[in-house]
A and B are shown apart, each in its own frame.
Chain A
Amino acid sequence: ILNVEQSPQSLHVQEGDSTNFTCSFPSSNFYALHWYRWETAKSPEALFVMTLNGDEKKKGRISATLNTKEGYSYLYIKGSQPEDSATYLCAFGNQGGKLIFGQGTELSVKP
């Protein structure tokens, strides 16, 4: 059974802090790694889709890296703001489009 692990489960930071989370996944049969941002009562929002080892993607203050050989991806948030408070999900995607999700990292940014 394919397992996707995220750590930490939750994180509380002060406004302005930079933070990062980890997503671990099996390194065999890799196709794609997805990151989503999920605010309460809203739809999960696609942040990144990463497919190549060594990929680095950036969207504003949020960036992500991918290491398919060792099976991990990092998500970084620079200068966290209260509006960054959300649950960040990663998902391992296969060629058929199926996504296997981790449990998420719940980020809370205090002003």
Chain B
Amino acid sequence: GAVVSQHPSRVICKSGTSVKIECRSLDFQATTMFWYRQFPKQSLMLMATSNEGSKATYEQGVEKDKFLINHASLTLSTLTVTSAHPEDSSFYICSADGLAADTQYFGPGTRLTVL
């Protein structure tokens, strides 16, 4: 149990395009989903918290208009990187809670490269 999938695992895009990343909880319903990113040699940094059916809460310094989060159902959250630029190249990873108390279950991550 507690499997979270993420798609795609890897994406390369041109500067100025938008990229959508999907995060799904496969065998449980996730009340809350979290989005993190990790730059090389740095720790996982929380970008935003999303609750099903409501607006996401963004961490300081994360542009909500650039990183659009939609949490339309209890098993799916999407992160869209709009007008991507090379500095957005990073590893994006989602997590979901709702199964065991105080435990987040992570997807395998998405490597985004913006040319």
Q: Evaluate contact between B46 and A49: CB separation under 8 angstroms.
A: no
Q: Choose among A44, A93, A97, A101 the residue that contacts B43 (Cβ–Cβ < 8 A).
A: A101
Q: Evaluate contact between A97 and B104: CB separation under 8 angstroms.
A: yes
**Per-position 1/0 for B67-110, Cβ under 8 A of A:** 00000000000000000000000000101010011111111110
From known contacts A42-B108, A98-B49, A99-B34, infer whether A93 and B102 are also in contact, taking CB-CB under 8 Å: yes
**B-side interface residues, number (CB < 8 Å):** 24
Using A34-B102, A103-B42 as known contacts, list a sample of 5 further A-B pairs with CB atoms less than 8 Å apart, ordered by residue number in A.
Answer: A49-B101, A97-B49, A97-B104, A98-B46, A104-B43
Interface residues of B (CB under 8 A from A): 4, 32, 34, 36, 41-46, 49, 93, 95, 97, 100-109
Q: Evaluate contact between B106 and A49: CB separation under 8 angstroms.
A: no
**Per-position 1/0 for A71-88, Cβ under 8 A of B:** 000000000000000000
A5–B36 alpha-carbon span in the complex (Å): 18
Contacts of A43 in B (CB 8 A): 4, 105-109
A100 within 8 A of B: yes
A32 within 8 A of B: yes
Contacts across chains A and B counted by CB atoms under 8 Å: 53
Interface of B is mostly: loop
A53 within 8 A of B: no
Q: Evaluate contact between A46 and B104: CB separation under 8 angstroms.
A: yes
Range of interface residues on A (Cβ < 8 Å): 20 to 34
Rounded to whole Å, the gap between the CB of B83 and the closest CB of chain A is 27
Q: Evaluate contact between B106 and A44: CB separation under 8 angstroms.
A: yes
From known contacts A51-B102, A93-B102, A97-B34, infer whether A102 and B43 are also in contact, taking CB-CB under 8 Å: yes
A89 within 8 A of B: yes
